Every structure is written in C-alpha cells, then in structure tokens.
Chain A
Amino acid sequence: MIPEVGHFALILALCVALVQGILPIYGAATGSPVLMSVAKPAARTQFLLVLIAFCCLGYAFADKDFSVLYVAANANSKLPLHYRLAAIWGAHEGSLLLWTFILTLWMFAVTLFSTHLPETMRARILGVMGLVSVGFLLFMLTVSNPFERLIPAAPDGRDLNPLLQDPGMVMHPPMLYMGYVGFSVAFAFAIAALLGGNLDAAWARWSRPWTTVAWCFLTVGIALGSGWAYYELGWGGWWFWDPVENASFMPWLAGTALMHSLAVTDKRGGFKVWTVLLAIMAFSLSLLGTFLVRSGVLTSVHAFATDPKRGLFILAFLAVVIGGSLLLYAWRAPRVGLGGGFDLVSRESMLLANNVLLVVAMGSVLLGTLYPLFLDALGLGKISVGPPYFDTVFVPLMTPAIFLMGIGPIAQWKKASLPVLAMQLRWAFGASVATALLLPFVLGKWTPLLSLGLLLSAWIVTTTLVNIRERVSHLSAKNFMSGLSALPRAYWGMVLAHCGIAVFIVGVTMVKGFEVEQDLRMNVGETATIGGYTFRFDGAQDVKGPNYRAARGTVAVSKDGREVTVMYPEKRLYSVQNQAMTEAAIDSGLWRDLYVSLGEPLENGAWSVRLYHKPFVDWIWGGCLIMALGGLLAVSDRRYRLVWRRERLEEPEALRPPDKSAA
C-alpha cells in the first residue's frame, strides 16, 4: 500500500508541477496577477507531495519491503537501519527521487525568502523550477520508477554495495545534490530575467546569496566525497580524476566563475550577458553530471545502449533544457546593456580573465571526461584518460588563475594602475618567492612542484594581508583594530574563502611532496618505522559485524619510545555480495595522518600491510571547509539581511512580535 501512496504522490506532483510550470509564466507574460499567484501555493504543494513520496520510499526501506524492486535490489534484512535509509539514494531511481525532493526543497525555500521580489519575477522563477521538476518527475514515472513492485516478492534483498555502507554515504550525496540542485535557483533567476528582459543590478543582488549557498553545499559535498574515498578505498588517495568526481567538479568550476561574475554584475552592472551564460552553464553541468553518474554511460557506452529508453529520455531532456535556455539566451541577450565601463587593467578585467581560466579548466575537464566515451561510441578504440592527463592540463591553467586571485581584490574597480599595483604588492611577491625558494630546503627537499605549490599559497596569504591593510587604511578608522571590525562580512567571507584555497594548496603540495609509503610483510611483533613513527604489528583477530566478517589487525604506534595510539585496520568480507573491503585505520592530526591498511594474510599469522605517513593531508579538506565557511559568512552580510530588517519595520505595529531588539 505505502509504495502505491508514494507512486500516486509522484503522479500528483507531476500534475502540480505542470500547473506551476505553465500558468505563472503565462500569467507573467500577460500580466495576470491571478495566474501569477498560483506559483507559490503550487510550489509548496509540490514540495509536500514529493516529501510524501520520499518518506514512502524511506518507509519501504525501513520496513524491509522486498516486494519493491528497488528495495530488494539495494538493501538486505541484515543491513543496519541507517544504511537502509541511506540506500534510498544508493542507485539510479532513488537518486532521482532525492534530486527531485531537493529541487522542491529549494523551491520551498524560494517561496519563503522571496517576499521582497516583484510578483512577476517570483512567478517566473518558480515557473522555471516547476518545468525542471516536470522533466524529472516524468523521467521517474515513465522509465525509472522507484516504487515498481517485484511480484512475487524477493525473500531477501541483494544488499547495498559494501563500498556504500559507510557514514560518507549518509552525508555525501545529499550535500552534493543540495549544491547541484541549488544552481537551479540561479538558473531559474537567469531564465526569469531573460524572459522578463530585465537583467539589472537587482537581479544580480537577488541571485547572489542563492548561488553562494549552493556553492557552499557543493564545496562541502565534494570534500566529503573526497574524504570518503580517502578512508574507504584503502589506498590513501583523495582525488582520482574519476569521471564521477569530474562530474561534480565541473559545476563547481562553473559555479565559482558564476559567483565572481555575479559580484561584478551586482557592484558595477557589467558582465550581465556572461553571468547569465554562466548560470545556464552551471546548472546544465549539474544536470549532465547527474546523468553521467546515474545513467551507467560511464561504466560502458554499451550499458547505456542496452537500455535505450532511459538514454533517449536523458538526451532529450538535456537537449530541451540546455538547447532551450541557450536559444532564449541568443534571442534575448543582445538587448542587454553593457553596464559600467572599465579599463583593460581593472578589477573587472581581472575577474573576467579569471572567469575565462576557470571556464577553460572546466572545458578541459569536460573534454577529458567525455572524450573516451565519444571515441568508444564512434568505434575508434578505447582509451583511458586519467590523472596524468588532468594533472598536465590543470596545473598550468590554475597557476595564472591563482596569481590573478591575489591581484584582483587589490585592483580598483573601473581603472587600476599597474605601477601602483606593483608597488603595493612588491613585498608580497618578494615574500612569496623567498618562501617558495627557501622553505623546501628547510623541509629537506626541493622539487619544482613543491616550490610552485608553496609559492601559490604564500602568494594568496601575503596578498590577502596587503589587501586587508589597504582596506583598513581607506576606512579612516581610529585605529587598526576598529578598522578591522568595520569591514563588512562579505569582505571577510572572501578573505576566508581565498585563504581556504591557500590551505588546500598547502595540503596538496605537502602530501604530494613528503608522503611516505611502505608495503611490508609484517609478522606478529615486527616493527617498521616511517616518518618518525614506529608501527608494531600485534596480529589479527577474526571479528563479526552485522552483515560481514572481518579480520581486524592491531597496530601499536609509538614515537620516540612513547606510545601514540593503537590502530585497528580491518579486512572485511561482506557475505551477501561476497565482496572484500579494506577498512583502513587512520590516526588524523593537524600535521599528519597515519594510515594503515591490511593487504592479504600470509603464512604464520603474518599479513601484508601498507603503511602511510601523510603530512598535512587533512589540510586538503580543511581548506574546502574554510572555503565553504567563507561563502556562508558572505551570505550573512548586512546587505542581504537589510532587506529582512526593513520588512519587519514596515509591518503594522500590532503584528510585530514583542521583541524590542527587532528594530
């Protein structure tokens, strides 16, 4: 019964989405307030319906209802409850439901936080989001229904892929999708503005916080995925340039470009056309990413071809969304004004140049990801495009981008002067170069990449310091400290996010430069020393988990004779799918991670063991979190809150809550 309720809720949601996608947009075009006012209740109803469907699928998993095909394929009676719930998004159909659910969640958020928007704008935004939702609901209901029954019911389920049975699975996909789908808001704003022909500074001001929040989620989502791969896959890597990773990285690059372009549109009225294009691009890449990951096209072009219904729907949907918005863009964009003028050397031009670099990097990742698929589809042979290719391409593109990142915030809007900039930045440049040349020797090893990484992060930090000093000196504050506190949060957000990049680069550079790895045959009681830490293998015992058996090793770690920690790496065998998993033991720290993973059992209780000493590796994810925090700080800026406060002030006296601080 419950699955049928879910199915029915999805059908109703489709009807509502159709209404939401058609009437308000038509109403906005004809100036009918009645039709436009449909948008808000329709969006909220749709949210409720998809929520019901989502809960129904969750119930089917919690209840171990193996008469639902999707549940039978992705869960098992022995699978713990939290993983059964996470299995909702463990495969294709449920991921689509999660996607749609999050889309309606963002819609709901738009209805809550858009009271200050003009009615026509809000109607168009919700209308566009409704249309996107139509596509997803239709896709689920026609070719990938998560509520499809399996009759007769399976006695037990096939279980969730053991790789996915991890806390990372609970957090990573929802976060990532919050980011992916969040760009649909920026997309809807852009399309609404194109439809209305009013791409003005107000439009940029409105879409900025939405874009930034989506970007924060995406950043955290990618970092979680990377951290998950690091500890779950058992060989200590954190980024593999896997197509699945690239699929999330491309919208991130486009979204980063979009945030910066929106800043120019907001502050100076420029780049409108380009900003709209980036908004379309970021969301199209999110769609492409979802489908790349979820359609099976990546594992094999032929898997995709064996189920042509899904494939054709996906291609048609992508063509309609991307093609349609680009057509609208081509039709409307030429009428948009240019905005404020600026010189070849100005903050605007530097932001634009950085945008070009980000988009070129994004294009290269796209090329590298899709190229093998096209070659294979055309029958021109199978190739692999992996880390060596992406590293070769990516580093040269990002180096100038980071160089510009240091100068951009210091350059003045409209017209900057190169000699003045050079004067302002001379000590920052000197300090960075000195750090890059000398620090590697202090650390004991010099390589070009090590030096480059340190150069870039030192450059970001020193230019940021120069920037803060400049900003404070312009404020004519009483003293430096009061000047610091007078700087707006949006500015501190930028500073924090940029420093996050520096922290990230330090992490990558140090771990690539100084990581130590050893593959050992360890008998019981034998020791090995890497990075100053002594690891003693104390044997392995058999342990039993809820749905797996495991050998658990005990490794005592000491430094200079003092015990540091005891680590328990595991080698698990999941019974249902008969799959072996390496569960590495990690001792995390600010300056280093110790990482132990069990290989294979050898004779006499010995094991092959892989030990790693990874300096600064946590800085990689720490940097990402700092970036996301920077984004959140920027969103909490007064500029955005101002609107809220004014709203409350204008409420009639009687309605105002008895809160004196509200004013």
Chain B
Amino acid sequence: MKWLMLVVLLMPGLAWAGEAKPLAEDPVAEARLKHLAVELRCLVCQNQTLADSNAPLAEDLRREVREMIAKNMSDQEIIDFLVQRYGDFVLYRPPVKATTTLLWIGPFLLLVGGGIALVLVLRRRGQAMTDTPVTDEEHRRVEQLLSQGERRS
C-alpha cells in the first residue's frame, strides 16, 4: 500500500515536470484576440494597446472579446460593438469619416503639394538661372572670412 501512496503523492510532481501550457485555453481564439487587441486602446492606460496592458479593465475587456470570439462574431462585429460602447477612442486606427478625412488624406496632400512645389521651383529656377555657381571670388571670400577671426584673436 505504501508504494501506492508514494505514487499518488508523486503524481502531481510528475505532471509539473512537463511542458508549460499556454495561458489561453484556445490558441486559435487567442491568436484572433491578439490580432484584434493590438489595434485597440486600453481605455484607462496612458497610451497602451489592449494587448499589452495589464490593467484590470483591459483584462475584463479581453475576456469580453474572448467571449465574443467564442460566440462566433466576426472581427467587424466585435469592433462595431466596442465602438458603440466606447466610441472611436478605442480604435488605434481611426475610422475614415467626416472629422478624420483630413487626417487620412493629409499626408497624401502634403506629398502631392511637396512634389508640385518641388517641380515648380526646379523649373522656375532653371529659367531664372543665369549660371552663377560659387565663383572663385566667393571661394576666396569664404577662405578670407574663415581666417579672419584668427588674425583678430
């Protein structure tokens, strides 16, 4: 009987020495959660994604998202639900709408504007240019200026 007791006592010990289990029960759902959570904001943190945050509220919210995933809701449905409850603030990728139009097309406008300005300046410059590179005279002046202080000091 003694050896049986020993085995029973050792059983948990044997189980411990194995591979660690993932924290999540369902790795597939967890991957989806991760995928969603990196673009969601933890609402009570300074500036952290839902995936990274250890705040209790973030933990609750992750659990809710897990439940929604378990209910077979699509990514879009989950996001819609969260936005309905918390507003656009929860999304790190701001939705395209009237108030964010400028945000999304701004960089494009800057690029086009910069490109046009660049071409215009270069063309106008090409026309206005009577070739005046740094002349020898100017080079001499630079050298002279650079050595001026030494003579004074």
Contact = CB atoms under 8 A, between A and B. Distances in A.
A522 B20 contact: yes
B16 A523 contact: yes
B152 A202 contact: no
A383 to B, nearest CB: 5
A384 B24 contact: no
Nearest to B18: A526
Interface of B: 16-24, 30, 38-39, 41, 46-47, 49, 51-52, 54, 87-94, 99-100, 102-103, 106-107, 110-111, 114-115, 117-118, 122, 125-126, 128-129, 131-134, 138-139, 141-142, 145-153
Q: Is the interface of B mostly helix, strand, loop or mixed?
A: helix
Contacts of B52: 233, 235, 237
Contacts of B122: 344, 349, 352
A268 B133 contact: yes
B114 A384 contact: no
Contacts of A217: none
Contacts of A414: 133
Contact of A387 (B92, B115, B128): B92
Given A524-B16, A526-B18, A202 B142 contact: yes
Contacts of A4: none
Contacts, number: 183
B148 A116 contact: yes
B105 to A, nearest CB: 10
B22 A518 contact: yes
A388 B24 contact: no
Contacts of A646: 147, 150
A81 interface: no
Interface string A598-625: 0110000000110000000000000000
Contact of A383 (B89, B110, B131): B89
B99 A381 contact: yes
A303 to B, nearest CB: 12
A521 interface: yes
Interface residues of A, number: 74
Given A116-B146, A340-B132, A368 B103 contact: yes
Given A340-B131, A527-B20, 7 more contacts: A200-B138, A299-B46, A381-B88, A385-B92, A393-B107, A519-B22, A521-B23
A115 B118 contact: no
Contacts of A364: 106-107, 110
A322 B113 CA distance: 22
B89 A268 contact: no
A341 B132 contact: yes
A201 B151 CA distance: 20
Contact of B142 (A201, A242, A339): A201
A243 interface: yes
Contacts of A200: 138, 141-142, 145
